[in-house]
Amino acid sequence: MIMKKKSQAEDLGKPDSAIFKETHVLQSPEETLKFAKRLAAGLKPGSVLALSGGLGSGKTTFMKGLCAGLGVRGTDEVKSPTFVLMHVYKGLCPIYHFDLYRLDSAADAEEIGLEECLADAAAITCVEWAERAAGLFPENTYWLKFRTAGPETRILEIDSLKETRHDSQK
């Protein structure tokens, strides 16, 4: 069951979409995959998603569903790029998937080319552990915070306000 305060997921990535905040309760990994696929339908090239949440909170499961919704074949290959820092998937447009877990600062993220990817209007950029370089993200970023609420249940908060980011490096 998905519960939400407000739903504009289909509008994500559209330049005229309203400022909003929504909360979703996802009861299983399968529900997380389905939600991400639906959300993907509202994205367009140039969209930026900043994902935060603890280990095992659902970020990579969400990415699998998002990639499936964006036309990536073989989503079993969608894995968190913790050790390689970035994967590029071919779907309806390029999808950049970063994981900043092993980085110490925004400067480290700049060194691996995060800013260039965030500015790529022809691609969708998704960044796990985004709070480690929050100051680099553009105004049109959607901030997704994952929390564990049970063995399989996750709470996902989506916010379009940059001011609500989890930025320890302002």
pLDDT digits (tens, 9 = 90+) for 2-37: 333 434 444 454 444 556 789 999 999 999 999 999
Distance from C-alpha of 30 to C-alpha of 138, rounded to nearest angstrom:
31
pLDDT digits (tens, 9 = 90+) for 38-69: 999 999 999 999 999 999 999 999 999 999 99
At a CB cut-off of 8 Å and minimum separation 6, what does 112 contact?
85, 86, 98, 103
Q: Using CA of residue 112, residue 121, residue 54, residue 77, what is the dihedral sign?
A: negative
Average pLDDT over residues 130-140: 90
| Domain 46-153 listed as CATH 3.40.640.10 | no
Distance from C-alpha of 130 to C-alpha of 145, rounded to nearest angstrom:
10
The structure's pTM equals: 0.82
Contact present, 81 and 97 (Cβ < 8 Å)? yes
pLDDT of residue 5: 40
Average pLDDT over residues 112-138: 93
Contact present, 130 and 106 (Cβ < 8 Å)? no
**Domain segments of the chain as ranges:** 46-153
